[in-house]
Chains A and B, each alone.
Chain A
Amino acid sequence: MIGSIVRRALLFAGLWWVLAEGRHDGWLLGGVAVMAATWASLRLWPAAPMTLRFAGLLGFLHFFIVNSLRGGIQVAGMALRGRAALRPALIELTITLPAGGERVLLVNTLGLMPGSVGVDFHGTTLRLHVIDERLPVIAEARALETAIAGLFGRST
């Protein structure tokens, strides 16, 4: 409990330092803000049944940045070539991640990954719109699932 209070307070203090752009004249207000934020976060998200893993977070960030780069470059190329480059289709995919935060993150993040946009979701069936059905979208979605599982400290 004490540990999580200290960790969160340090996190919010770091955030204040960034928001104040490193200036030191606002720390009186900053201290109040940090305490209020810590209190609110403990009320809204009581000490950690669902902890994010730091190593998983780095892994996820790396995965995310690399793939949003790939996705952006791919779709920019298609935009320049026009609709002849497109071969859209709807595909269905069975999700293996457990319900809750993991699935919410998966369905929403898929829209920023190469080739896919989440369209609909029933039970464990996710419907995706893919911009080119020749792309290995299912493998990409599975890789994203693995990265998310790592973020939440589970292994698939």
Chain B
Amino acid sequence: MTSVFALAIALFLLVNLVVALLAAARGPTPADRMLMALLFGTTGTAVLVLLAAAGGGTPLVDVALVLALLAAIGGIAFAKRAWQGEEGGDA
């Protein structure tokens, strides 16, 4: 029963992700489009772990973990760049 429920929620989140991605891609500013990077990290990871529970098996949890790890490294690199921009005095 959990696996059916997990599959249903995974599909729900997938629809949710597509709607949100389209909304973010529409902008209107470039910063709005950067929101897509956030969406992939959170919703993408959630869909992967749900699919693992829905019968995809534990390798999908590994995929989710690697996605999360790469997102974390990316996020830290993003923030670090913003930080160094500050110290370089570009503002």
Shortest distance from the beta carbon of B12 to any chain A beta carbon, whole Å: 16
User: What's the dominant secondary structure at chain A's contact region?
Assistant: mixed
Chain B residues whose C-beta falls within 8 Å of the C-beta of A108 in the assembled complex? 79
CA distance A120 to B65 in the complex (A): 31
Chain B residues whose C-beta falls within 8 Å of the C-beta of A81 in the assembled complex? none
How many of chain B's residues have a CB under 8 angstroms from any CB in A?
6
Chain B residues whose C-beta falls within 8 Å of the C-beta of A21 in the assembled complex? 58
8 Å CB contact of B79 from A19, A104, A120, A122: A104
Q: Is the CB of B58 within 8 A of A121?
A: no
Q: Is the CB of A122 within 8 A of B58?
A: no
CA distance A6 to B86 in the complex (A): 38
Beyond A104-B79, A104-B83, A108-B79, is A120–B58 a contact (Cβ under 8 Å)? no
Interface residues of B in 56-91 (CB under 8 A from A): 58, 65, 79, 83, 86, 91
Which A residues have a C-beta under 8 Å from some C-beta of B?
Answer: 19, 21, 104, 108, 120-122
Which B residues have a C-beta under 8 Å from some C-beta of A?
Answer: 58, 65, 79, 83, 86, 91
Task: Pick 5 A–B contacts, CB within 8 A, sort by A.
Answer: A21-B58, A104-B79, A121-B83, A122-B86, A122-B91
